[in-house]
Each structure stands twice: as C-alpha cells, then as structure tokens.
Amino acid sequence: MQRSTTFTTSRRGFLRGSLAAGAAALPLAGTASAAPADAAMPDSIRALQPVAARVVPIGNDERAARIARAQQLMAAHGIDVVFIGAGSSLTYFTGMHWWNSERLTGVLVPRKGEPVYVTPEFERGRTLEQIKFGNDVRGWQEDEDPYALVAGVVREMGHATGTVGMEETVPFFRAKGIGDALPQARVVDAWPVTAGCRRVKSTAELALMRLANQNTLAVYEAVWKALKPGMTEQDISALIAMAYARTGLKGSADVNIGKYTASPHGSDKPQHLTEGTPIIFDGGCRADGYTSDITRTVVLGQPTDEMRRVFDIVLQAQTAALKSARPGVEMGAVDAAARKVIADAGYGPDYRYFSHRLGHGIGLDMHEWDYLVRGNRHLLEPGMTFSDEPGIYIPERFGVRLEDILYVTDDGAALMTPQSPSIDAPFA
C-alpha cells in the first residue's frame, strides 16, 4: 500500500508551505497591501461581497474531540505518547499557530490524560494566550536543553520505556534530540494517529472549505471579467489580490499565459496577455486556516476549435473521476477513470499529456493525505477531500487544467464548486 504524507515544501506559491509555517497569519503573496488603488478597481471586482463574517471557526469542543480520537488511535497502534511540533497538526489539535524554528515548541499528548505543552520560557505568555484547553505549560530557558525537558515530561507520564510517536513533519534533528534524551523508549512515526484524525473532515471543516472554495471561484470570475490585452501575469495577480481584499479572505493565485499554460506549474518567464491566448489561474484562500484550491482555464476573446476540444475532454475526465468516487473505492481507481478519458481521446498513453496525478488531499494544508494516483490502494471514506484536477498539456502551445475540490459522501462524491461549463463561458 502506498503511504501518503503531507508536503512541507512549496508547490505553487502561496499556501504551499503551510505545514512549516503554522503561523496565525501565513505569509501570503497577494495581500491587500499589494492591491492597486481603489480608484482603479474594475466594476466586476467592486461587486464582490465580503464573506469573512461567514467564517465559523472550529470550536474547542471539536478540538477536544480530536484529542480524544487521537488517543483512541494511539491505543489501537500501541503508541503511548505523541509529540506534535509547530505546524498545521499543532493547529488542528490545539488551535495554536506557531512558526517552526530552531526553538522547540509543541505538545505531548499521552494515551490517557491531559496534554502537556512545552515552549521557551519567554514564550509562556503567548503560549497561554493560544491554548484552547489545558493549562500545563512547561518552559525551558535559553541555556537549557529542551529535549531533556520533553524527556522529563514523558517520564512523568510513565512512558520512559514506552513507544513515543513523532508527528511526521517534526524535523529530523528534533526527533533525534527527543529520541536521544529517551534512550530506552521506542520512537516511531505517529502518522497513523495524525493522518487517522485529519484525513476525514467533520461537518464544520467541510463548511469552511466550501466557503473558501466558493470565494475563490467568485474571485476568479470577477478577475476574468476584468482582463484586458497587454496585461502581464503580475497585473493579473494584482487583480486577484484586489479581489480577495474585497472579500476579506487572504488568498492568491499563480497565473500563466499562452504557451506557458502547457507546463502544469507554469513558468517564471515574462508573459503578456493577447487576444485568443489561454490563461490558467491556480490557487486559493483560507477560511479559519482551511484552504481552497481551484484551477480555471480561460481565454481572452475567442478560443480556437482545438482549445475547445481539449477543454471538453478535460471536463469529461473531471466528471468521470467524480462519478467513480465513492466509499470503498481504491484511490488509484479515481485517477484511472480520468486518465482513461484523456487517453481514449488521443492524449495518451499514461502521463504523456496528462503529466501528473489526478489529485491530492486538502484541508489545513493544501497538500495532505491522501493522493488520487495510480497504485494507491487506500480506500475512500466519507468525509475525505481531494482536488479533482485533470489536465492536458501540449508543449510549446497551450494547456488546459480544471480543478475543483471533491468530497466523499456516504454514497458517492460531490464537488464544492460548480464545474466550469465551457472555455467560452468558463463560469456557470
């Protein structure tokens, strides 16, 4: 079986390094400060409505239930205590937002009992401000060994010779430091616990993701209506920033134009918009930390017949993947459903023109468990969320990708946003 894990490196600019960041306000390209002056605001962007007031944050009861679920999984997998360092899992379980630096901050979750927080002593006040439940904070001074402090807490919990799980994105140097300080303990990967909790979304999580995705789609449509010949990718990114500022949710998108749409993640080379050229928007925003991720392929003016044909094939592939997804289906089979449509239409075999997997898991991180990719035999479960993003990329000419977020229901799957109906009218 293929084991999935979150990514800590950047994929497309904003939100791609969210595990490593873990801060309350993540660094985002395209914030309000980057937007052009209000006087230059296009009417379509001015018409956007604020949505930030509709964000319903995750409550303390849900976070406490997550800890309880983690403890159940710890018992099932023979793990006595789990260390969770700075990053999105710390946010998920405790509500804390913390930058992952050389100074150790994190939480120790025992199989039974209350969590214990470990942080630099000078950060005690800020730690207490962020804690949603529990009040056991252990501080270490700058000249002290934080790993010795962690080891002491684990001994207090009675697990000095037990099994200590490391949340899978904890840096190696930190996991080694804790392991060295607990020489009689067995240090293991806590992936079955963290992924076991995070990969299935609650009703509240799905609502936040749906709001973020719907907001991204509204931003894209407003920007599409404001496109003009001669714009650069930076000009378009600035319009996207302006649009997000109107809605009150921070976000951005990568923009690629013309032949650069033939690369799935585009190019840094200068690009200019002309009549009849395709444009790909790809990015998202956050609602209480939960991300959207939508891609739309549009054209300024009239697309060619070939662009229309390729668009329609990609749309059929996205639909085939959606129809194939339901509880109990292997994740690789969803990729296969989309890939078959593209290959049967003459854009195969395998990865020749559809050069990447169909999709990735998404939640607090833009890329997280699991992956819709060939060979992944993990089974879909209700509440799982993925990108459904097939594409066809014709080198040096153009590419088409469509991406919406798929969530698994009790008896099938659905998308959080309407599909793009056509390249001539890309927004429903």
Helix axes 191-198, 60-76, angle to 10 degrees: 140
Strand partners, 254: 282
pTM for the full predicted model: 0.90
In this predicted model, what pLDDT tens digit does every residue of 334-388 receive, in sequence order?
A: 999 999 999 999 999 999 999 999 999 999 999 999 999 999 999 999 999 999 9
Q: Please state whether the peptide bond connecting residue 349 to the residue before it is cis, i.e. omega within 30 degrees of 0.
A: yes
| CA separation for the pair 383, 406 (Å, rounded) | 10
Residue 242 CA to residue 29 CA, distance in Å, equals 12
pLDDT score recorded for residue 384: 98
Q: Please determine, for residue 34, whether its predicted confidence score (pLDDT) is greater than 50.
A: no
DSSP β-ladder status, 163-166 and 186-189: parallel
- In three-state secondary structure terms, 114 is coil
Model pLDDT, residue 22: 30
Instruction: Examine the pLDDT at 59 and tell me if it is beyond 70.
Output: yes
Residue 88 scores a pLDDT above 60: yes
CA distances for 149 relative to 77, 106, 152, 209, angstroms: 25, 12, 5, 38
pLDDT in tens, 211-258: 999 999 999 999 999 999 999 999 999 999 999 999 999 999 999 999
Residue 38, pLDDT score: 61
Give residue-wise pLDDT tens across range 114-138: 999 999 999 999 999 998 888 899 9
Per-residue model confidence as pLDDT tens digits over 163-198: 999 999 999 999 999 999 999 999 999 999 999 999
C-alpha angle 363-225-427 in degrees, rounded to nearest 5: 50
Give the residues across from 386 on adjacent strands: 361, 406
What pLDDT sits at residue 135? 85
Taking CA atoms, 402 is separated from 285, 354, 389, in Å, by: 17, 12, 5
Q: Which helix (H) or strand (E) holds 333?
A: helix 331-342
Q: Supply the pLDDT for residue 21.
A: 33
22 sits in the region (left: phi over 0; alpha: psi -120 to 50; else beta) called: left
Average pLDDT over residues 99-104: 92
- pLDDT(72) > 90: yes
Q: Which of 1-10, 247-256, 267-276 has the highest mean predicted lDDT (pLDDT)? A: 247-256
If pLDDT is split at 50, 70 and 90, which confidence band does 31 have? very low
List the structure tokens of 103. Answer: 């100074």
Distance separating alpha carbons of residues 343 and 350, to the nearest angstrom:
7
String of DSSP letters for 165-215: EE-TTS-HHHHHHHHHH-TTSEEEE-HHHHHHHHTS--HHHHHHHHHHHHH
Q: What whole-number percentage of the chain has pLDDT above 90?
A: 87
User: Comparing 35-49, 138-152, 348-362, 408-422, which segment has the lowest mean pLDDT?
Assistant: 35-49
pLDDT for the residue numbered 393: 98
- Mean predicted confidence (pLDDT) in 387-408: 98
The residue type at 80: D
CB distance 22 to 86 below 8 Å: yes
* Model confidence at 32: pLDDT above 70: no
pLDDT in the model for residue 265: 86
Could you give the CA distance from residue 208 to residue 82 in angstroms, rounded to a whole number? 27
Residue 44 has φ and ψ, to the nearest 5°, of -65, -30
Q: Return mean pLDDT, the chain.
A: 91
CA 421 to chain centre: 25
Query: Which residues touch 317 (CB under 8 Å, ≥6 apart)?
Result: 337, 338, 339, 341, 342, 354, 390
CA–CA separation, 72 and 352 (whole Å) = 44
Which pLDDT band, with edges at 50, 70 and 90, does 320 fall under?
very high
Contact yes or no for 217/297 (Cβ under 8 A): no
- pLDDT attached to residue 261: 97
